Amino acid sequence: MNASTERKLWMYEKMIEIREYEETMVRVYMEGKLPPHIQKGLAFDIGSGPVPGEMHLAAGQEPVAVGVCAHLTDNDTVVGAHRSHHFAIAKGVPLKPMTAEMFGKETGLGKGKGGHMHLFDAAHKFSCSGIVGASMPPACGAALAAKKRGKDWVAVAFFGEGATNQGAFHESLNLAALWQLPVLFVCEDNKYAISVEKTESTSVEWNADRASAYGMPGVLVKENDAVAVYEAAGEAIARARRGGGPTLLEVKTDRYLGHFQGDPEVYRTKGETTTLRANDPIPRIAEQLRAAGELTDAVEQQIRQRVSARVAEAYEYGRASPYPKPEDALLHVFN
């Protein structure tokens, strides 16, 4: 499935948005976490500052999110993992309530109850989970609901390569293939399950090969390239929409930052991220678009301006929004 210029420009803009959003997060997250704000002797205080808690960012992994979500509508379901901003943005989750959630504010997606790892947007059928491997079973459920209702809606489960060694992966693939559910399993292989390399944890070189064990197509995209992901995902999603069942799509991608902010990254070789960044998919797609005459300076400028305005507005909103009342902690255990 070839990407139209319009889809390519959409992916480009979304990748810029994700990157700029997360680069802003890198700065905001560090506010108040370093001396002199914190106790002497500590290097870093994770619970301080306007955005407390863990923070997992996806710089470098944007092609997976945009290449898949470029095919999705509001009727399709996406279930992400603990590193999910790129999926959420590509799925259309509005930046303002998403950001407010990370600030723990009343106006957040979950009224401050979930935070960055637990984003729930029913209107855009997006959710994610802080548990590795947990995206897959609920995605099967969304796909089952679509099938039962006779809709051509699909569900996508995103997960990292570390999750493929969880029982949930194998159980879900079996169930989805058995019931021919319209679900796309998307494995982002950034090589590291926190610090442990794939070669140290996974018995096969490519997870896509594991699909054959469940009688479903397995597709491997070795380039960290939005257009390549778009084409592979397009075929799989179209197949699912017409009742052809699930697909396992694995994309080799790169994580430029640590597993979480503050990760000392002792498992990386020196200069590794610099080398990875030399192959940044964002300037690469820009060059491709320019070479094909699909991106002009004027359009580029408009995209940059739009994105900067959206991101800035979201952060201002998150910061300025009020905190929930402390006693609101008691609400929403049940609906």
Partner 1 sequence: MKTRKLTMAQAIAEAIGQEIERDDNVFVLGEDVGKYGGIFGATGGLLAKHGKDRIMDTPISETAFIGTAIGAAAEGMRPIAELMFVDFFGVCMDMIYNHMAKNTYMAGGNIQLPMVLMSAIGGGYNDAAQHSQCLYATFAHMPGMKVVVPSNAYDAKGLMTQAIRDNNPVVFLFHKGIMGLPWMSYFEGSTNEVPEESYAIPFGQAKCVREGSDVTIVTLSQMVQKSILAAEKLAAEGIAAEIIDLRTIVPLDRESVLKSVRKTGRLLVVDEDYLSFGLSGEIAALVGEHLDTVQLKAPIRRLAVPDVPIPFSRPLEQFVIPQVDTIAAAARQIVGARQIEGALA
State yes or no: cis peptide before 36, omega within 30 of 0: yes
Mask 170-199, x = binds partner 1 (CB under 8 A)?
-xx-xx--x---------------------
- Percent helix, strand and coil across the chain, each rounded to 5? 45, 10, 45
- Closer to partner 1 by Cβ: residue 316 or 328: 328
Q: Does 332 bind partner 1 (CB under 8 A)?
A: yes
d(CA 152, CA 154): 7
In 10 A of CB 160, how many CB atoms?
25
- Closer to partner 1 by Cβ: residue 222 or 332: 332
d(CA 165, CA 151): 32
- DSSP 3-state of 186: strand
- Ordered DSSP codes for 90-157: HHT--HHHHHHHHTT-TTSTTTTSS-TT--EETTTTEEE-SSTTTTHHHHHHHHHHHHHTT----EEE
Q: Does 77 bind partner 1 (CB under 8 A)?
A: yes
Q: Does 168 bind partner 1 (CB under 8 A)?
A: yes
Token couple for 153: 């809606």
Site of tokens 């009342």 = 325
- Closer to partner 1 by Cβ: residue 120 or 267: 120
In 10 A of CB 234, how many CB atoms?
18
Binding-residue total with partner 1 (CB under 8 A): 44
Q: According to CB under 8 A, which one of 16, 65, 70, 155 is a site residue for partner 1?
A: 155
- Closer to partner 1 by Cβ: residue 214 or 230: 214
From the CB of 185, what's the least distance to partner 1, in Å? 12
Q: Does 134 bind partner 1 (CB under 8 A)?
A: yes
CA distances from 163 to 85, 170, 221, 300 (A): 18, 10, 18, 37
Question: Could you tell me which residues come within 8 angstroms of residue 41 by beta carbon, excluding any fewer than 6 positions away?
Answer: none
Look at phi and psi of residue 274 and say left if phi exceeds 0, alpha if psi is from -120 to 50, else beta. alpha
- Closer to partner 1 by Cβ: residue 24 or 165: 165
- Closer to partner 1 by Cβ: residue 142 or 216: 142
- Closer to partner 1 by Cβ: residue 262 or 324: 324
Q: Does 61 bind partner 1 (CB under 8 A)?
A: no
Question: Which among 24-32, 34-42, 116-124, 194-202 is the span making contact with partner 1, rule CB under 8 A?
Answer: 116-124
From the CB of 158, what's the least distance to partner 1, in Å? 14
From the CB of 252, what's the least distance to partner 1, in Å? 26
CA distances from 52 to 43, 57, 101, 224, 317 (A): 15, 14, 11, 31, 17
Q: According to CB under 8 A, which one of 41, 167, 271, 293 is a site residue for partner 1?
A: 167
Binding to partner 1, residues 91-110 (CB under 8 A):
108-110
Contact residues: partner 1, CB under 8 A: 77, 79, 108-114, 118, 120-122, 125, 127, 129-131, 134, 136-146, 148, 155, 167-168, 171-172, 174-175, 178, 331-335
